[in-house]
Structures are given as C-alpha cells and as structure tokens.
C-alpha cells in the first residue's frame, strides 16, 4: 500500500530523476508513487513535496530518516549536474505541512 506520494515537478524532475527519488525513498521501506503537481511554489528555490498518506503525524523512524533522504536526493542531483532541491516538505492528508526540512550544505 502506498504510504507517500512524491509530487512531480516538471521543471526539476524528469523520468530518470523520479526513478532515482523513488529508489531513495524505497530504502526507507516506504511505498511511494509519483503524483501530479499540487503546490505552486512561490519561493525562488525548488521545494521537493511529499504527501504522507497516513492519518496523523509522520512516524518517528521516517521523520528521523528525512534529513538523510534529502541529503541523498541532493547528492544525486549534484552528481547529475542539476540543481538540487533546497527544501523538503511533507504534507498531511489535510494539505498542511507536517515536516519542513531545509538543506544543509
């Protein structure tokens, strides 16, 4: 059963990028799928948006793994010569942000 949706961003995520992101998220033992864009970023930096499909907060094991997840995704993008996400936001079922992580350089 899918536990998290990864929001597509056609400016920053192509098919290979999405496959890499799905593989990285899979290492958290989370079932993930891509989803259509839902948020239009008003920021000047790229935000990677995830949607938590369980009721309630993000579980502690997943919350603890999110900084490493963002770091690994950023490394993938740097290695590919692309602009990495500056932030990761996890949204809940109600559309509100449950977790926000800023990239550490």
Determine what percent of the chain is predicted with pLDDT higher than 90: 82
Between CA 3 and CA 81 the distance in angstroms is 30
Can you list the domains of the chain with their CATH numbers?
Answer: 4-102 (3.30.429)
Q: What pLDDT, on a 0 to 100 scale, did the predictor assign at position 29?
A: 86
Q: Calculate mean pLDDT across residues 33-43.
A: 78
How far lies 80's CA from each of 23, 62, 83, 101, in Å? 16, 26, 9, 22
The answer to whether the CB of 84 falls within 8 A of the CB of 73 is: yes
> SS3 letters for the chain?
CCCEEEECCCCCCCHHHHHHHHHHHHCCCCCEEEECCCCCCCCCCCEEEEEECCCCCCCHHHHHHHHHHHHHHHHHHHHCCCCCCCEEEEECCCCCEEEEEECCC
pLDDT band, residue 28 (cuts 50/70/90): confident
pLDDT digits over 44-53, tens only? 789 999 999 9
pLDDT digits over 60-78, tens only? 999 999 999 999 999 999 9
pTM attached to this predicted model: 0.92
Q: Calculate mean pLDDT across residues 4-31.
A: 94
């Amino acid at each position: 059963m899918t536990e998290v949706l990864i929001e597509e961003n056609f400016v920053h995520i192509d098919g290979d990028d999405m496959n890499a992101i799905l593989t990285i998220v899979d290492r958290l033992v989370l079932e993930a799928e891509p989803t259509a864009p839902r948020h239009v970023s008003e920021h000047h930096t790229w935000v990677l948006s995830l949607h938590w499909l369980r009721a309630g907060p993000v579980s502690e094991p997943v919350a603890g793994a999110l900084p490493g997840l963002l770091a690994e995704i950023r490394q993938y993008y740097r290695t590919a010569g692309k602009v990495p996400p500056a932030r990761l936001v996890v949204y809940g079922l109600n559309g509100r942000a449950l977790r926000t992580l800023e990239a550490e350089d």
